[in-house]
Amino acid sequence: MNKNTINLQDTFLNQLRKESIAATIFLVNGYQIKGSIRSFDNFTILLDVEGKQQMVYKHAISTIIPFRTVNISLTPSAVE
């Protein structure tokens, strides 16, 4: 992959994590999870849900809706 390629998913999730922005995560089965992202990798997202940790596989997620606007920069240098 080109070094200047922007990974929008990682940028979005990282901004949610860094700013501790809570979000509603909709799973493909219709279940909703409300919590804050603590960590993520290529396959999973670790959430803080009411003080408890919950790991969700990314392939089970359909939509992530943050509780407030997420400001992300789409320049390659901002991703690091």
Does residue 68 register a pLDDT over 70? yes
Q: Tell whether domain 22-69 is in CATH 2.30.30.100.
A: yes
Please tell me the predicted confidence (pLDDT) of residue 5. Answer: 76
Does residue 79 register a pLDDT over 50? no
Please tell me the predicted confidence (pLDDT) of residue 74. Answer: 72
Question: Which of helix, strand or coil describes residue 66?
Answer: strand
Q: How confident is the model at residue 67 (pLDDT cuts 50, 70, 90)?
A: very high
Domain boundaries, the chain: 22-69
What is the per-residue pLDDT across 16-52, written as a single tens digit (0 to 9) for each? 999 999 999 999 999 999 999 999 999 999 999 999 9
pTM (predicted TM-score): 0.83
Distance between CA atoms of residues 68 and 35, nearest Å: 13
